[in-house]
Structure 1
Amino acid sequence: MRIRIDHDRCRGAGQCALNAPDLFDQSDDDGTVVVLDDRPPPELHDGARLAAALCPNAVITVLDEP
């Protein structure tokens, strides 16, 4: 799995950091998303998918890679 972010569209709603704190944080400067691990281990995949689904601006893309 790989996580990609469209930083230009992020508005800092924080749903990613609230629902998957092992993978996402928010910038102290502007509150936008910070990815902590763009290639998470399998045990964090569900959290990445949840964060992507809950993002109100749809800035998180989860790519399944072999």
Structure 2
Amino acid sequence: MTKLRTWRERRGLTQSEAAARIGTNQSCYSLWETGKRPIPRHCIAAVHRATKIPMKFLLGVP
């Protein structure tokens, strides 16, 4: 999930700070950011609201 990392780095946030804005913890956020785990469907809207990353991308729609 490189878009998450790009979003976070452009804002000068740590993973913990980014996770807090989304409403999750740092360990979950790290797994999403590295692509080791997909963002759970129930968290997609919160990630979109915090990051403004398009929903299509977050849902994996081409």
The structure whose RCO (Cα within 8 Å, separation 6+) is larger is 1
- TM-score if structure 2 supplies the norm length? 0.45
- More helix as a share of residues: 2
TM-score of the aligned structures, taking structure 1 as reference length: 0.43
